[in-house]
Amino acid sequence: MFQKPSQQRSVAPASDQERAQEVLERTRDPGRMLALTDGIFAVILTLLVFEIKVPQLPAGKSLPTVFLLDVWPSVLVFVISFAYTGLFWMAHRDMFNLVRGVDRVLILLNFLYMLPMAMIPYAASLLSAYNRDTLALRLYGLLLLLIALMRLMLWLYIGTQSHLLFEYVDRRTLRSGALQAIALILLSLIAVLFAGFAPNLSLVIYAGVPVLYFIMVTFLRQSAPKGSQERNFT
């Protein structure tokens, strides 16, 4: 049976310290930021496929011929861009698996990380239409370079803010994560430089980087000590 109001146990009001702690936990909850980020990644992956158009058949030409000439470059750029977007999402997931809470600096860095990411569909569309053009190739590479640079800044900030993490990030793990981002920066820069006089080689570099990257990541993960955070990195 319910107690009469006079008999009910009174609940002590929360102290100022408890209220402050509750507000701090709410403001540091990474849930909303991660939901927004995942939504942006989903939109990017969806927009990429929209650039693959159904070809119109001119008189006297067959579908295989038109596909090879008009559609295949778009398919190739779609596959490359899809691989990069997936790679960047997995890297973001691995970083934020360590994060217990966020602050304003981390939120700002995350937005800056998503800024060049959101441009990938446009850069992919431009590259699929002008896959030998220097400007299209360089714009694509510069976006990849900016994303890798922002990933590096995100990781260095996350790895040095122990109060935001579930567990401490040791020096070896911090260095390993930074090395992955720096490798992407250097490879993107090389592709940008080659775009001016060897566009085909620049395109090959863009296509080969995800493969080389996963080989490097596999090596780093296998060489990492058992139980270390590096074993879970992408």
| Token pair recorded at residue 219 | 């090596």
What's the CA gap between 137 and 130, in Å, rounded?
8
Choose between 22 and 42: higher pLDDT. 42
Name the residue with higher pLDDT: 229 or 179: 179
Tell whether 63 is covered by a domain. no
pLDDT tens, 161-188? 988 888 888 888 888 889 889 999 999 9
Tokens in use for 169? 């990030």
Q: CA dihedral in degrees (107, 112, 115, 116; nearest 10)?
A: -140
In a domain, 189, yes or no: yes
13-17, 52-56, 143-147 — which is least confidently predicted? 13-17
Q: Tell me, yes or no, whether 191 lies in a domain.
A: yes
Q: What is the per-residue pLDDT for 27?
A: 60
Q: What is the mean pLDDT of residues 66-76?
A: 67
Q: Is the pLDDT of residue 194 over 90?
A: yes
Residues 6 or more apart whose Cβ sits within 8 Å of residue 13: none
Q: Residue 74, class by beta-carbon neighbours within 10 Å (0-12 exposed, 13-18 middle, 19+ buried)? A: buried
Average pLDDT of the chain? 82
Range of the domain at 109: 29-58+79-232
* Prediction pTM value: 0.82
Domain assignment present for 66: no
28: number of Cβ within 10 Å = 15
DSSP-based three-state secondary structure for 99:
strand
137 lies in a domain? Answer: yes
| 8: in domain | no
* Within-domain flag for 172: yes
Backbone φ, ψ for residue 121 (5° rounding): -60, -40
Q: Is residue 69 very low, low, confident or very high in pLDDT (cuts 50, 70, 90)?
A: low
Q: How many domains is the chain partitioned into structurally? A: 1
Residue 14 inside a domain? The answer is no
Q: Tokens 């990644």 — which residue?
A: 41
The per-residue DSSP string of 140-189 comes to: HHHHHHHHHHHHHHHHHHHHT-GGGBSSPPPHHHHHHHHHHHHHHHHHHH
